[in-house]
Structure 1
């Protein structure tokens, strides 16, 4: 596998030299180019981005940096990508990183600081000349500053160990971007320009500058068990397909991609007793999570419980089947663990899932329902063991990946995977996945000779604590990316017990989720859509004026201000000096009446007060009126007629002329033959 340049010295050239015919570097008047010169190797070819023409080329080896070029004030640790907005293209470079640990001897970094460089010399990234460009750049910065973006210069973090082992011969000599898992190559859209040049022009192969980045989590701990040292790793990879926030990306799309899809790999290595720096045994176990593969949504209405909507479309069975078959081609047999409630609000989505799985009729699929809240009520969370008992035969059948340095072929393959979901694929899902991973680690360490048959992970304090901490932090990071807060129920994952303090902390997180999901996640969803290429800007700020213009009727926009002012006046009446208590009766009656009327109005028009995404509006989903299921009052509050209200409203999510780009998935075959024990 070709190596990547780890440190780049950036220079900005502003010379006025003329260029000669066939010379790879051209110079023009004014600010001319960005020049990226690798710190090593010495004969590496510098990357030159010409700002006026937009051309990107490689200079010959050992090319001298022009004397007129000024060195950038920061070291560049990688090029995140190139994005085109309404006024200019922008280079996004990584200028800060932190070491998160080593994975099998390879350093894993998190990108923590980014700089955005405009290609157009007349544009400033810090002070754009148009408010639309300012808004789009703010979305870019928000996305970059809030994500867990991980990368490695010499190891492919986008693929699990078994997939890399299967393809090791085929991948020999190829650049990392060519072999990366397309689902988890988070910045692939932003790197597409560099990849296209590398494919079309062999003289300008930019593979050494194309840095695949994942959005996920990584943790590692060194522990001792029975006198032997172990290295534990936990890495999660988030899919860039149907990426987004909790309520604005649910269910499945017509390409078979589901929301909040994450692959989580737990790895354990046992060093050689002769050489502690060399792994004698490598053990890997992979689980996946993803939204229920049905067309469904939760429509925010300002009520705590959104409207649950299930859409029975003509191709519903086909896309469910497509999703499941793709997972089988990637991972093998599927054990589908469904943790949603079988009563009340969640019952319809449970029934829809079961109906479509049955209609898909795939023999490599086994559906397993576990009524999490009922089985674990009254804080009896230890009863998650009932789920493990029901999965035991499948887990033993599907196995795990086991490499021994003394044996040429793997000792064991992982031939199937557990796919877990709840409503959000966050809190209940994480508890279940952590329990499954712990059960498998018991098997692995016994097979490696670390644990005796009557011993277990629970009896090994260092392993027990490390697993709890790793899975708790892993849960928090996935939850923050999707729901905006840390995960719920992590007190059980961290301590093995459900506590009253943990329940109180969950209450606070739930309130914070409500506020973020209703009032802030629209912009976060827009940032996802912009950075993953789901929405591509057109040239000219006028094409995206809908981003900064509130098209709601004046009365809708005025009511929150009336409510705020009324509350202020009530507070003022309670704190300011009084001339007569009797005279305040009319005062408070007026302002409390306005508060009540404003609150009722906002509840009735709840849909209009949610911060909906604007780049890819959810108009068709919100106004869906076909076969399926819809709970609640269709977003209007108090059971009023939804169709009448929406026909007279100019809701902020209605925009025109926006189409989603067509992104095709590349499949990765498992390639491992089933071994019969």
Structure 2
């Protein structure tokens, strides 16, 4: 994409991902207060684009005799349009000029915005200078688009993988009429089920083109052929077949992005109705990271995607609670994906995902920041006796995720001076009130954990408590799995779904209601419901709890992919260490966006494995957060309001920096906007939603924004070109696959004999771990010498030594030569027997002792039995010359003649037969009069009473 500048217009020439076809966007430069954009819907080739540019250049050249020479000048090269914005004068265009690849999901690539350009569209001659215009521009540019903003050309980052892979249930016919599709094809495509992935290989596409037209269309739509087809159609000529191939087409869909996670929706609002969707580039804000879990050479990509909500967005103390629409502060949806990297197609690959969410308590509460204190008092601004705000919030969660909604509240419950505890009391009241009218099977499930109180107790462990809660929560919600599960796996949360597993013949069924079951529906496991985690700030404690949920979900995901034999992972394994690092970066990024500093209390703090020097770092982060909240949050909040369109500048309005508060901008009821109540306050959920629960309503009734025809000649997204580029020189270290965090290179201890990333490894103590960090030359994660080609005899004090080398487990002891004169004499490592065969003490924690006298006696008895039955003949037998056989012991059991083929029935005694016969006779003849002995016993008992 390139922007060319002329005297009258700006010509933006953009192309698709494959850089083969171009479109021209003409932006008017003469008007200052309006935005005139013309989208040339004709697609050009490289040669046609060159001819078009030369024509524009010739037309803009000055005539002979004129002083100025204004030709066609290239302004900037860009990768996408962020949007258009106007303050008090003309419009600005924001373009992405630099990007960086951060993750891949199948054949789809996710990029991070590295740099942007903001260009003034109108001509300088028509510009009217206003004093506040530069202030608005500087305030708008305070939003650093190069920090944690992400986009993708072909993958919808605003929705989860489960939603993106779900087929649309009903496709409107209006979308099909735009392509002039014949009537026979309309009826078949209208109920299509396989609009999953348009990124097919060209070879597969050619094979599909060789099929019969009827078979091809039905294969793409997951439907059977028409049984009423005439015989003449089956025996048609080749000429008729070619005509039919032209009539039947393959289609791909484009999802409607979730506006809640599109941060440039306000910037795209002036052009979203007049532009082709290919120009629209939704950009999300949050965090994206990807790592490679190598299981004996087989790669499994672990991806973490965090989507920050743009509704009621802001900084820590200025945005608390929720607004009247049910949007809460600091709401972030975190998705954890694990997939087999050997098969990249979304159709036939193996993908798993787990979604969790964090957000502030959905109530109208705030903290007074006018007083410069570390913990301002918590106050409730508006009382909500009917829990309408919380009802709107949880109604949206039920629509998006289904049920059950598991609420994990980490707010303190007991305090000497009530501070956080008042939030806990109000939260419990809201949930109890909402559960009164909700059906019992779909009620909100509330769990409260006081992490601060548990962490102070020596006999309690926070991580074990959270792990137990995470296991039960993940079992309730389940995970998403795109492929059919294994026959021996049973991960469904309750007996109702296990019953559907047993009744189905193809493996497993969706986590949906029984009435939605169809025999031809693809059997994939789905997540229903979500776990919502919160504390007061939704930062430190929330990130630790989300890590425990992610660790538990990762065990289930690897178990579903067939990697683990049971869905469980240990803390001190390489895989969990990698996940912990990802969640640490995830928490630091979200804390910087909302709180102004990194995490104060980390995962290692609650695991009690952090070194003693980390207390100084925690103090510095606390001071940094306090400074940011006190002095810089107001300007940051104004920039967010301006970027998201919460505040729209005008000459008649008061400038945003002069407003005493932005409360009126975010709360519609305070501005006099009163919503119309179409339902009673007791029914806070949508009535249409209950029919689809536990499945989410948005997924079961998925809509399509654009239907695109996919031709066999059209180039597809190909991962091969990312690694093999014959037209340019490539450095291996610059490839994304090489830069990705690797479990073997970055986390596995050096010279270990156990290469499994799931093995438990003993880590050094706090002092040794701190010493290794100081000696690792300041780098966060050093490389494994065995993977980067460094010498295996490098000293622990050298710069080439990795941090993982100093953190090698004691089980794999290998004496590494120190930095002394002995290194020059002998460069071979000193291998010991302990490095390959660790002692029993370190492996099992037990010492070997002399056996007791009783154990010796038992052993001698078994030894005598063996000699008597299978041992050689005694000396007396050899001298006498007898050829007697050894002693044979007969097993005294009723199953003495058992075998793998048949089993003899046990012997039933006569007394048991008589009892059984009496019972059978009583069933036939009915009850009989008691015997004389029983009558005498009864009379004696009556006489005693």
Query: Please, what TM-score do these two structures have when normalized by structure 2?
Result: 0.53
Query: 1:400-425: per-residue Cα shift (whole Å, max 9, x none)?
Result: 00111798725311011110001111
Instruction: Compute the displacement of 1:42 (Å).
Output: 5.3
Match of 1:293 in 2: 362
CA contact (8 A) 2:360 2:536 kept: yes
Q: Among residues 434, 440, 450, which one is paired with 1:371 in the alignment?
A: 450
Match of 2:406 in 1: 335
CA distance in 1, matches of 2:672, 2:126: 28
Counterpart check, 1:179 vs 2:256: yes
Q: Does 442-451 or 309-318 show the bigger shift?
A: 309-318
Q: Among residues 502, 519, 530, which one is paired with 2:642 in the alignment?
A: 530
CA distance in 2, matches of 1:217, 1:445: 23
Counterpart check, 1:45 vs 2:23: yes
Relative to total residues, which structure has the larger strand share, 1 or 2?
A: 1
Match of 2:40 in 1: 59
Q: Among residues 462, 485, 497, which one is paired with 1:383 in the alignment?
A: 462
Instruction: Compute the displacement of 1:359 (Å).
Output: 1.5
CA contact (8 A) 2:477 2:528 kept: yes
SS in 2 for 1:354: helix
What runs of 5+ residues in structure 1 fail to find an aligned partner?
1-7, 15-31, 198-204, 550-612, 622-656
CA distance in 2, matches of 1:324, 1:276: 35
SS in 1 for 2:630: helix
Counterpart check, 1:233 vs 2:294: no
CA distance in 2, matches of 1:345, 1:377: 18
Q: Among residues 1, 4, 9, which one is paired with 1:11 in the alignment?
A: 4
CA distance in 2, matches of 1:56, 1:486: 43
Instruction: Compute the displacement of 1:452 (Å).
Output: 2.2
CA contact (8 A) 1:237 1:263 kept: yes
CA distance in 1, matches of 2:315, 2:672: 19
Summarize the alignment of residues 409-420 of structure 1 with structure 2, pairs less than 5 Å apart: 409-420=522-533
CA contact (8 A) 1:489 1:498 kept: no
Query: Please, what TM-score do these two structures have when normalized by structure 1?
Result: 0.72
Q: Among residues 644, 650, 671, which one is paired with 2:699 in the alignment?
A: 671
* Residues 104 and 620 (structure 1), Cα distance of their counterparts in 2 relative to 1, 3 Å cut: closer
* Residues 490 and 308 (structure 1), Cα distance of their counterparts in 2 relative to 1, 3 Å cut: same
CA contact (8 A) 1:83 1:91 kept: yes
Q: Among residues 459, 475, 483, which one is paired with 1:396 in the alignment?
A: 475
CA distance in 2, matches of 1:449, 1:248: 47
Match of 1:438 in 2: 551
Instruction: Compute the displacement of 1:276 (Å).
Output: 11
Instruction: Compute the displacement of 1:429 (Å).
Output: 0.3
CA contact (8 A) 2:312 2:666 kept: no
More relative contact order, 1 or 2 (CA 8 Å, 6+ apart): 1
Match of 2:835 in 1: none
Query: 1:618-639: per-residue Cα shift (whole Å, max 9, x none)?
Result: 7999xxxxxxxxxxxxxxxxxx
Q: Does 377-386 or 513-522 show the bigger shift?
A: 377-386
Counterpart check, 1:157 vs 2:157: yes
Instruction: Compute the displacement of 1:144 (Å).
Output: 2.9
* Residues 259 and 167 (structure 1), Cα distance of their counterparts in 2 relative to 1, 3 Å cut: farther
Taking only aligned residues, the RMSD between alpha carbons, in angstroms, comes to 3.4
Counterpart check, 1:359 vs 2:472: no
What runs of 5+ residues in structure 2 fail to find an aligned partner?
61-70, 172-194, 196-250, 486-505, 507-520, 676-685, 690-695, 702-945
Instruction: Compute the displacement of 1:391 (Å).
Output: 4.6
CA distance in 2, matches of 1:442, 1:37: 47
CA distance in 2, matches of 1:276, 1:226: 23
CA distance in 1, matches of 2:627, 2:460: 28
* Residues 359 and 81 (structure 1), Cα distance of their counterparts in 2 relative to 1, 3 Å cut: same
Match of 2:230 in 1: none
* Residues 475 and 385 (structure 1), Cα distance of their counterparts in 2 relative to 1, 3 Å cut: same
Match of 1:214 in 2: 284
Q: Among residues 561, 567, 576, which one is paired with 1:464 in the alignment?
A: 576
Counterpart check, 1:72 vs 2:71: no
Instruction: Compute the displacement of 1:535 (Å).
Output: 1.1
CA distance in 1, matches of 2:644, 2:80: 18
* Residues 503 and 493 (structure 1), Cα distance of their counterparts in 2 relative to 1, 3 Å cut: closer
CA contact (8 A) 1:376 1:384 kept: no
SS in 2 for 1:388: helix
Q: Does 430-439 or 68-77 show the bigger shift?
A: 68-77
CA distance in 1, matches of 2:383, 2:167: 38
Q: Among residues 109, 112, 117, which one is paired with 1:110 in the alignment?
A: 112
Match of 1:188 in 2: 265
Summarize the alignment of residues 502-581 of structure 1 with structure 2, pairs less than 5 Å apart: 502-538=614-650, 540=651, 543-545=653-655, 547=657
Match of 2:139 in 1: 139
SS in 2 for 1:467: helix
Match of 2:420 in 1: 346
SS in 2 for 1:59: strand
